[in-house]
Structure 1
Amino acid sequence: MLRNAVIGVDIGTSSSKGVLVGLDGTLLRSAVREHTPARPGPGRFEMDASVWWREFTELTQELTAAADATVVAVGVSGMGPCVLLADEHDTPVRPAVLYGVDTRAVSQIERLQDELGAEEIIGRCGSALTTQAAGPKIAWIAEHEPEAYARARRLYMPSSWLVRRLTGAYVLDHHSASQCTPLYDTTAQAWYTPWADRVAPGIELPPLAWSNDSAGTVTEEAARRTNLPAGIPVTTGTIDAWAEALSVDAQRTGDLMLMYGTTMFLIHTVPKPLTSPSLWGTVGALPGTRNLAGGMATSGAVTNWLRDLFGATDHPELLRLAEAAGPGANGLLMLPYFSGERTPVMDPQARGVIAGLTLSHTRGDLYRAALEATGFGVRHNMEVLRSAGGDIRRVVAVGGGTQGPLWTQIVSDITGRPQELRATSIGASYGGALLAGRLVADVSIDDWNPVRRTVTPRPEHTERYEELYALYRRLYPATADVVHALADRQDR
């Protein structure tokens, strides 16, 4: 007898992931397609939208190949905020500009702040203008590629692009819109027309819905391409980090989600709108929720870089060596700003620093320093969250970096905070499946994804990290002038 199931697909920075999940939360199958963003210049990250749709169709065909389950709904998510501009026929006018890892729009940020007012932007939009915001990226395209921009009529992100191809609906979720600063008013929860017309003239901004709403149903044409049943509902979807938070139930007031991935993302659910020039204030993925969020530009990306640099085949051996190195990495300290930094530094010209190197340091020491750098960055973000009025009551971890015990333990030791891990830590694709399940059934997150274990801080290590964290906080201002001068040379 066939069982009913849902599919969740997430389009991420380095891969697209899909899961087939029974309506009881059981993971039936998973599939992955890896990809690499294009880097057409310093500080620029782009991707061809055809990759998103091709990989989606490959994933759904693979997940449904066994024909042992009936798919009854689909959930989507993707990296963001991204800027994909398309013409009236939905033909992209250029590759998509990716989220905060793309730092090209610095001059547009400065100009818009001067024109609109930095305080006015934070007050209306919840966030300062940074490299994370979609608005300046749109302005960059308009200024630097006017011929392409002249053809542009619609704005998409990975999740909304999939929704369009699957259902024909042109729609964006409120949370993604709230990261389109300065186009969206977080108080009114609507596009702010005066600034939208100024920053994105000629663009017909999409109607808005919530991530758990049904955007429409799979068309006959999409069904032929994807092997999905025609007529089943598709969620509106959202940005991947928010789908990850949903997958582990990190959406209650006081919750903080830590997403261990290529980048590190933090989402704190707050009872009322909070703002900070060093964080992102957004509406949540679900109606009635508000968030104060942060994101580090690199985390897993640095460990991947070290793995490749060392010629290692995989991470487990390096993790073993890092554990043997012990707290403090034998006197190494790293700033993890290898792609600039987002929150709370907000410095696209920041760069990675490794301090204290000697000829006796090993691969394990360097790898340990990278894991600790993430922990120090998380603590820095947590402190800024608290200073902005946040009240962190529970920390929930998710993502690929939670699979082994070392990284989460280091972060708990540095922050002094326990972290809850749920049984399934796949992340955004599982969160998308959860939202899809809620379109067709009464789905409980505790039934789907119960708590598996809690990582608790080790007091003796927490004490040792206090001094190292103080040194970490001193390292960035002490090296910023030199690093900025080097960054200028890299951009030439």
Structure 2
Amino acid sequence: MTGSTTKSCYVGVDVGTGSVRASIVTKSGKVLASSTQETKTWRDPHDHRVFEQSTTDIWSRIGVAIKDCLSASGVEPSAVKGLGFDATCSLAVTDFEGEPVIVTKGEEIGGHGERNTILWADHRAEEEAELINRTGSVVLDYVGGKMSLEMEVPKVLWLKKHMSPEHFHKCQFFDLPDFLTYQATRDSSRSTCSLTCKCSYVANSGWQKEFFEQIGLEELSEREYAQMGPKDGEEVLIAGMPVGEGLSKKAAEELGLRPGTPVGSAIIDAYAGWLGTIAARFADDKQELSEVPTIEESGHRLAAVAGTSTCHIVQSPSDIFVNGVWGPYKDPILSGWWMNEGGQSSTGQLIDFILTTHPAYPELVELGKKNQKPIHTVLEERLEKLRTESAVETLTELTKDLHLYPDLHGNRSPIADPRMRGSIVGLELSNSLNDLAKKYHATLLAIALQTRHIIDTLNGAGHHISAIYMSGGQAKNAGLMQLFADVCGMPVVLPRDSGGAVVLGAAMLGRLAVEFAQGEGGSRGKLKEGQAERLWGIMVEMTPPGTLVSPKASPREKKLLEAKYKIFLESIEIQKRWRKEIEDATK
């Protein structure tokens, strides 16, 4: 037990696609306890695009996770000095009393009920996104030229089309991270991260009245944006700034913490991954730690937050416009800095799909149980056996004639086209475990090739990325991490705790909120002036050293990887051309 010796610590809460994770973290970044709780997701059996969740379920799981952490660590609630949240960029809908509003298409939509959250992965708003992308609005300049149907405004527009005006008028719309701070404090302040990254709030100019009128959401501007966030000119909080008066009495009881505990302004989960990794030092081959990074060094480090999907975030001191890549966003984490965000809609989900839909998957699971090994280990061993038997140098050469294009769930960036689909070229008449192993490796390679496509696009537009900083479950996949290094031609830094980096970032927000709340006071403007340096200092202090994975491809493999990359790019153009030919033929 640590309760008697722990004077102060912080709670971070990460709400992912399928679970909630809470951690209690010390000032030095040491994790005292963690707890993960699964959350519910509803699918429509008649519409594969639909993914819905419940803020009631999510909040209850957060309470269980935090109480588990307190119990396991022995930390007293009074020792928890601050609380921070991150979450997926899902749309949470409530009325103005905070009661959940149903978002499910049908007779009950707009009434009170549990299913009130449209998950980020929900693709129901395709028509609405297409309408938005025909406007030519300045809003589009700040999302890579094309708005994704995964963002919040297309989903709000979809809800307007399917709700009665009476029901729609009563709705509040939150990006999920901001809902969590609202639920915790009952203060409806919104974060720069959520508003600029997902809600069409434009850097330096705020809400765009003409844009909302163009797309048929004029009531938002008529009501001075009360349904979406602040009025023009009202305060928007930068990451970690204190929200309201801290935890409400009701929320404190639900979470097992003290009323008034400072709550930091929240961020989207991918940005928490940036926060929890990008300031890491790393050990070289001689086990010597790199120098303490400066805030300027952050501009050369790409944070890749890899789970169900993958987000790629890079910071810069000025605005850089990149076609097909979201942003530039001003102040999403550090005051005065800009960020761009690339992404892959399906990565961890893609790996699972390729495995579970193959005829040899039951055999793979059975082998794993028999040998008491994870299925990925079984596949890696099978691939190495095949490589040896085939007398080839690398797994890239083993699968040289198998080409997989990975956009089974559309392309987030840099093509920004939800209609893109996956493909496999080089199929054999085989349903064996060997065939599954080869397809598994081809999938990993495709994810790495697409990562390079995103990095090349970012660097081509003016960024200077020279290293990848990973977080999320995929960081545990050693083969994939080596492919990232070899395909992208740059080192990959792995966090000490791949699954905990994101929730560590959330805990950092709680610590900053405490420092502001206990600090010198002053206006919000003065707090913003020092926010970047203070938060960067916290990041450096709380981020544990990472492990360096260096590129090691031989000249032969480099040549083969270049050929694979060329084929990857060609497959994009082929798919576009084929689509046009089919469209022309069916007009």
Using the size of structure 1 for normalisation, the TM-score is: 0.90
* Matched residue SS, 1:184: coil
**How many residue pairs align between the two structures?**
481
Counting only pairs closer than 5 Å after superposition, residues 445-484 of structure 1 correspond to structure 2 as 445-460=539-554, 461-480=557-576
Judging by fraction of residues, say which structure has more strand. Answer: 1
Is this contact kept in 2: 1:171–1:215, CA < 8 A?
Answer: yes
2:291 matched residue in structure 1 = none
Say whether 1:238 aligns with 2:267.
yes
String of CA shifts for 1:215-246, please: whole Å, max 9, x gaps.
13112111211111222111111100001100
Say whether 1:400 aligns with 2:473.
yes
User: Does the C-alpha gap of structure 1 residues 448 and 150 become closer, same or farther in structure 2, counting only changes over 3 Å?
Assistant: closer
1:15 matched residue in structure 2 = 19
User: Does the C-alpha gap of structure 1 residues 121 and 444 become closer, same or farther in structure 2, counting only changes over 3 Å?
Assistant: closer
Counting only pairs closer than 5 Å after superposition, residues 101-140 of structure 1 correspond to structure 2 as 101-114=121-134, 116-118=135-137, 120-123=138-141, 127-140=145-158
Counting only pairs closer than 5 Å after superposition, residues 19-34 of structure 1 correspond to structure 2 as 19-34=23-38
Q: Distance in 1 between matches of 2:377 and 2:170?
A: 46
Say whether 1:91 aligns with 2:108.
no
Greater radius of gyration (CA): 2
Aligned-pair Cα RMSD in Å: 2.6
The partner residue of 1:363 within 432, 436, 444 is 436
**Percent of pairs with identical residues:** 22
Shift of 1:211: 1.5
Counting only pairs closer than 5 Å after superposition, residues 303-322 of structure 1 correspond to structure 2 as 303-309=351-357, 310-311=361-362, 312=365, 314=374, 315-322=376-383
1:48 matched residue in structure 2 = 54
String of CA shifts for 1:297-318, please: whole Å, max 9, x gaps.
0111112223433133643333
Q: Distance in 2 between matches of 1:67 and 1:419?
A: 32
* Matched residue SS, 2:243: strand
The partner residue of 1:439 within 498, 513, 533 is 513
Say whether 1:338 aligns with 2:408.
yes
Counting only pairs closer than 5 Å after superposition, residues 61-460 of structure 1 correspond to structure 2 as 61-66=67-72, 68-69=74-75, 70-80=79-89, 82-94=90-102, 95-99=116-120, 101-114=121-134, 116-118=135-137, 120-123=138-141, 127-147=145-165, 149-181=167-199, 183-188=200-205, 190-196=206-212, 199=217, 201-202=219-220, 204=226, 205-207=228-230, 208-216=236-244, 217-249=246-278, 252-281=298-327, 282-283=329-330, 284-309=332-357, 310-311=361-362, 312=365, 314=374, 315-322=376-383, 326-328=395-397, 330=399, 331-360=401-430, 361-425=434-498, 426-440=500-514, 444-460=538-554
Q: Distance in 2 between matches of 1:328 and 1:231?
A: 60
Shift of 1:147: 5.0
Is this contact kept in 2: 1:93–1:148, CA < 8 A?
Answer: no
* Matched residue SS, 1:269: strand
Shift of 1:45: 2.2
Instruction: Give the residue type in structure 2 aligned to 1:104.
Output: R
2:528 matched residue in structure 1 = none
Q: Distance in 1 between matches of 2:19 and 2:581?
A: 33
User: Does the C-alpha gap of structure 1 residues 321 and 298 become closer, same or farther in structure 2, counting only changes over 3 Å?
Assistant: farther
User: Does the C-alpha gap of structure 1 residues 144 and 153 become closer, same or farther in structure 2, counting only changes over 3 Å?
Assistant: closer
Is this contact kept in 1: 2:152–2:175, CA < 8 A?
Answer: no
* Matched residue SS, 2:420: coil
Q: Distance in 2 between matches of 1:362 and 1:413?
A: 24
Q: Distance in 1 between matches of 2:582 and 2:308?
A: 24
Task: Please identify, of 102-111 and 315-324, the stretch whose mean Cα deviation from structure 2 is larger.
Answer: 315-324
Shift of 1:322: 4.7
Gaps of 5+ in 2: 103-115, 231-235, 280-294, 369-373, 388-394, 516-533
Gaps of 5+ in 1: 488-492
String of CA shifts for 1:180-213, please: whole Å, max 9, x gaps.
35x311133x333443465362451323211111
Shift of 1:430: 1.2
Shift of 1:148: 7.3
Q: Distance in 1 between matches of 2:81 and 2:259?
A: 10
String of CA shifts for 1:424-474, please: whole Å, max 9, x gaps.
332321100122123336864334223332111113133321111111111
1:490 matched residue in structure 2 = none
String of CA shifts for 1:75-116, please: whole Å, max 9, x gaps.
100001x222221111222222222x32222222232333x3
* Matched residue SS, 1:362: helix
* Matched residue SS, 1:305: helix
Q: Distance in 2 between matches of 1:214 and 1:241?
A: 21
